[in-house]
Chain A
Amino acid sequence: MQNNLKKKILNYDIYFDKTGVLFIEQTKTIVLADLHFGKAKSLNLSGFQIPPYDIKETLYKLKKVIEIYKPSRIITLGDNFHDKFSILNMNNQEIIELNKITETVDFKWVTGNHDKKLFSKDKIGGKFFNSFQDNDLSFKHIKSKNNSKDSFEFSGHFHPKTIIKINNSSYSYKCFVVSRDFCILPSFGHFTGGIDVKSKVFSDIIDENTFLIILGKTKIAQQKVI
């Protein structure tokens, strides 16, 4: 069982973890994208009786990752809450657990399209940013069209996944989309789906330098896209 894949980007050692987060060793930072807290609740309201355990499961996964990497900083890349009522709809237990995490590490929320006009933001710890720059690393929700050449950009939003076909059945896996100057992270939240990297959305993003880091069940594999 392989848990992560180490890569050198600029001068940083970066671990791509099988849960979909990445860890930057030099700055002791965990980066993760698209938590979508409260997605189940939001769907419940539109008639889906799906089990309302997404927040619990996402927090559980997050705590596990923290135990392993012991970060001093966590940066989220937006779409942290599924809709503007999500914090209101969280129960006390969930808020207490989330704040335990935001208190122990330097927690930076980069906000995304889902996080606009959030109600009761003040209930949650950590600091909110539109985007965040740390020396030559930048953190955004949606990948910018023209990134400045000297920096490397981390973003989320697209929930990349890839589909592998074996024996007439297909398996889909979440993946990182990595290129020379950017990396798009897979979604971390429970119940968050994905978009196939072969779909139109990615056609402007993927070029000959792009590769995928695929998160399999037992292995993490690197693969060229084109």
Chain B
Amino acid sequence: MNKINLPDKFHFFLKKRGWTLFNYQKDFIEEVQNNVFKRYLISSDTGTGKTITLFLPLLIDHLEKKKSKIIYISPLKSIISDLFENLNKIVSDLNIKIRVGKRTGDDSYIYKKKQIENPEEILLTTPESLALMITRKEVDHIFKSTTYLAIDELNEIINTKRGDQLALAISQIINVNKKIRIFASSTNIQNFKYLSNWVSFKKKTKIITNKLLKKIKVDILVLKNMPDYGHSVDHALGEIYDIIKNKKTIIFVNTRAQCEILYKNLFLVYPDLKIGIYHGSLSKNIRMETEKKFKVSDINCVVSTSSLEMGIDWKNIDKIINIGAPKSVNKIIQRTGRSNHQYNSISESLLIPTNKFEYLECVALKQLIFSKKYDRILEKNGAKDVLCQHLLLISCHSSFSEDKIYEIVKSTFPYKSLSKEDFHEILSFIHHGGYALQNCKDIKKLKKLNNGKFVIKDEHSKRNILMNAGTIIDSSNIKIKTLKGKVLGTVEESFLNSIKEKDTFIFAGLTLVCLKIKNDEIIVISKTKKSKKVPVYWGGSMPLKSNLSEEILRILQDKKFSKFPHEIRKFLLKQKKMSEIPTKNKILIEKFPYQSGEYIFFHTFLGRETNQTLTNFLIDYLNKKKIFTINYILNDYSFGLFFNGKINIQKEDLKFFFKKEFNNVNFLNTALAKRIFKEIALISGLVLKNNIYTKTRKNFINCDLIFDTLMKYEPNHIILKITAEEINNYFIQSSQIYKIKNLNFFFKRLSEVSEFSKSLIMEKEKTKANEIL
């Protein structure tokens, strides 16, 4: 059915490599050759050759002696170096004269300069580097001569600030080269419409789907001694060992702390294992070393966080093990797809729940995979702080007129409904700060020319803007260094709070002693002595997806829990007898005495973020009623507040809170608002992370203070409006708080701790509810 004309050389090349083209790949080539559409969206499972497909039209062009060029954009830097090598091999096999180039933050200034004079036919880059390219007039000719623009793994960034930044950058490129054709690739998700609209830029998009699904098999390991609480896999070490000792495996965990602990424990119990460790905090050198060792089979198992989910094409992986709760369907499919990364083989993964709640989550996940209910990517409007940065960036390129840029910005999907008034306000903000105070002429970053166009004020402002470009606010900037100066990796600033000199902790699989804490460095020495005291650091925890939490509640509706293994059934039956099982629209609230006081527990199954937000508001609400919470605990499923002595809280009070009080909460008065404001302040250029005047990385002024000042003196300032929008967006994207309005609840007074509450009380460190000073 697919009759396309491919050059003989290409057939020969495929034969030599033992490859056959999928139907979707043939479709794609044919469509591109027909030249009807300017935009294409390819959707296919992981491990079905999406990335290479994006290059096929270009390769065929060159075999047919047509000159074309491609710019390839990947959200992951790690893909690029891998792809660079692969493409070079393919090009030399095909014997065509194409040069492959890359442009990322890691490449040298001199190389990039030469590249502008003599650009390669294939250019691999990231959204961040692309955003910097559009600030330079001398790069325009590269865009003008580019035939194809390819965006890989669009689903990964489409609803993030990086995605907004990319959309804006592409709109500028289209402005320079109207003929450019855009390809995008994505894994299977539920709502393609969003992706195809995003790629369209006011043209029609052709969707090409791979109907052939990759076969995956997901099993759950149930052990009799599965713990009631905690996130340790010590009970399953033996089983893990049996799998990994003679199979090439990747073990995925959810947090970096889990990663370090599991690696260490496996190593202690089974010193004969050849295993490695991989996560985002480790320095590039250490990660590359692990990659190399794995490729040449010096190690045959890697313990990793999400960092290894995408990109690096590690061949011959037999099995994937996933520790803990999966949190999202697409994540597990992605992870499973890492094994047998070839199209016709079955990918296998084993889920190992670390407690009973996680077991339920695993079962729900299996259900969703079985019924092909993938994650939905929720649409969002473009973030306006990213637009602020974009306008600053393009003002470095050349002067622009307000109306023209407004039209260009509106051609992107994220900013399609941006109003003229909002745009004007944003432009005023970056022009002169946008403060109502009259004498703010000194705040100018842009200057307005006589013809009404805007351009960057001076060279100094330009350098500041370029130095601070980017939408990823990286909080991990504390370096872990050995005495000899080797950087092992970086951790979040908050880690400094939990550590002091002479403490031991594990990092990069080593036991380290902290010798000295400098401003942004922890100097360590490696130690062989075993240490029980392990201050761990968190980070990398993922939100529980809404479809998954609904599925958990659905499977709990089974009256007798007959499908579950014995231990789980016992656990659920006991809970049901003592208290109740929550349902989809009815959360469970339990009140019971505990030690010298009382607990109120809320079993919501709405994810950690939602629980955190609810906890904060509830504590505030109760404080106002003179009921003071001592401390609280929370996880993805539940949260509990602890009070001294007996407290008088009735069902009606809580009902009032959820139904009335909660709807009137001003989200700008929360700690979350300050966190989001800080990010917006940095992205929009309100404050500078790097300043050429001071050369320090510290902010001059505490963002919280700026926030409070604005709230007091200019509550209608554009930056506060953006903050309110982003809080809303945050709630929609990563929490399920919008569900609260429609919820009802069971209210149970118990004489003792219920099964559900017990596991959380045992598991977690309690957090003080109020500041002590």
Contacts and interface: CB of A to CB of B under 8 A. Distances in A.
A190 interface: yes
A49 B443 contact: yes
Given A47-B688, A49-B433, A169 B497 contact: yes
Contact of A171 (B442, B685, B773): B773
Contacts of B1: none
Contacts of A53: 437, 709, 712-714
A102 to B, nearest CB: 22
A52 to B, nearest CB: 5
Contacts of B714: 51, 53
A48 B701 contact: yes
Interface string A160-189: 000011111111010000000000000000
Contacts of A46: 691, 693
A173 B701 CA distance: 15
B435 A47 contact: no
Contacts of B691: 46-47
A216 B773 contact: yes
A51 B435 contact: yes
A219 B693 contact: no
B713 A56 contact: yes
A50 interface: yes
A191 interface: yes
Interface string B253-296: 00000000000000000000000000000000000000000000
Nearest to B437: A52
Contacts of A54: 709
A91 B461 contact: no
Contacts of A45: 442
Nearest to B440: A52
A117 interface: no
Contacts of A91: 438-439
A51 B706 contact: yes
A41 interface: yes
A217 B686 CA distance: 27
A201 interface: no
B710 interface: yes
Contact of A57 (B437, B438, B687, B709): B709
A167 B767 contact: yes
A48 B694 CA distance: 12
B701 A193 contact: yes
Contact of A216 (B440, B442, B713, B771): B771
Nearest to A92: B439
A168 B437 contact: no
Contacts of B435: 51-52
A46 to B, nearest CB: 5
B256 to A, nearest CB: 15
B494 interface: yes
A222 B693 CA distance: 38
Given A166-B768, A191-B701, A217-B771, A44 B442 contact: yes
B461 A47 contact: yes
Contacts of B713: 51, 53, 56-57
A1 to B, nearest CB: 12
Contacts of A48: 686-688, 700-701
Contacts of B497: 165, 168-170
A43 interface: yes
A214 interface: yes
A2 to B, nearest CB: 10
B762 interface: no
A79 to B, nearest CB: 16
B772 interface: yes
Contact of B705 (A47, A89, A190, A217): A190
B498 interface: yes
B632 to A, nearest CB: 11
B146 to A, nearest CB: 34
Contacts, number: 98
B709 A51 contact: yes
B494 A43 contact: no
B68 interface: no
B773 A218 contact: yes
Contact of B693 (A47, A170, A217, A218): A47
B479 interface: no
A221 interface: yes
Contact of B443 (A52, A168, A170): A52
Contacts of A47: 445, 460-461, 464, 688, 691, 693
B596 interface: no
B687 to A, nearest CB: 6
B498 A168 contact: yes
A166 B773 CA distance: 11
Nearest to B773: A216
A123 to B, nearest CB: 16
B37 to A, nearest CB: 43
Contact of B773 (A51, A57, A219): A219
Interface in A143-170: 164-170
B702 interface: yes
A166 B710 CA distance: 28
A53 B711 CA distance: 11
A166 B442 contact: no
Nearest to A191: B701
Interface string B185-221: 0000000000000000000000000000000000000
Contact of B440 (A44, A56, A57, A173): A44
A92 to B, nearest CB: 10
B771 A49 contact: no
A119 B192 CA distance: 64
Nearest to B388: A49
Interface in B424-461: 429-430, 433, 435, 437-440, 442-443, 445, 460-461
A45 B439 CA distance: 13
B280 to A, nearest CB: 20
A52 B714 CA distance: 11
Interface in B698-733: 700-702, 705-706, 709-710, 712-714, 717
A89 B768 CA distance: 45
A168 B461 CA distance: 38
B701 A50 contact: yes
A43 B702 CA distance: 13
A44 B460 CA distance: 13
B377 to A, nearest CB: 32
Given A173-B773, A221-B773, A41 B494 contact: no
B693 A169 contact: no
A188 B461 CA distance: 31
Nearest to B460: A47
A216 B429 CA distance: 34
Contacts of A217: 771, 773
Contacts of B767: 167
B440 A50 contact: no
A50 B700 CA distance: 10
B277 to A, nearest CB: 23
Contacts of B443: 44, 49, 52
Nearest to B495: A168
A214 B773 contact: yes
B437 A50 contact: no
B392 to A, nearest CB: 11
B701 A43 contact: yes
Looking at A48, A57, A193, A218, the one whose CB has the most chain B CB atoms below 10 A away is A48
Contacts of A221: 773
B700 A57 contact: no
A193 B710 contact: no
Nearest to B465: A47
Q: Give the 7 A-B CB pairs with smallest separation, nearest first.
A: A216-B773, A53-B713, A49-B433, A44-B443, A170-B497, A168-B498, A44-B442
20 contacts: A44-B440, A45-B442, A46-B693, A49-B430, A49-B686, A50-B686, A50-B687, A51-B435, A53-B712, A89-B442, A91-B438, A165-B497, A166-B768, A166-B772, A167-B768, A169-B494, A170-B497, A190-B705, A191-B701, A221-B773
Given A51-B706, A169-B497, A191-B709, 7 more contacts: A48-B701, A51-B433, A51-B717, A89-B439, A191-B701, A218-B773, A219-B773
